[in-house]
Structure 1
Amino acid sequence: MPRLGEKAPDFEAVTTQGKLKLSDFRGSWLMLFPRSSSRSRL
């Protein structure tokens, strides 16, 4: 997990809009909201 001020590692995710890579947003401001699965325990 990156610390504040460190670069996040590039990752890929499958979304309802298709595949998404963090590097696709390079040079843009981006805010990520983590969401746990409805099947996971908190």
Structure 2
Amino acid sequence: VPGQLHEGPIRPGKRLAVRIARFINGSGGQVRRLGRRR
């Protein structure tokens, strides 16, 4: 149910989803870019 997710659990879930998506996308080259920037 999108309504229930929009109530609150979407906050921590979105954070985890973003982290996972970043990890997956980063594994391709974003991580290298971040590493070079740092």
- Please give the range of the TM-score, normalised by the shorter of the 2 chains: under 0.3
Bigger strand share: 1
Larger fraction in helix: 2
User: Greater CA radius of gyration, 1 or 2?
Assistant: 2
Q: TM-score, normalised by structure 1?
A: 0.24
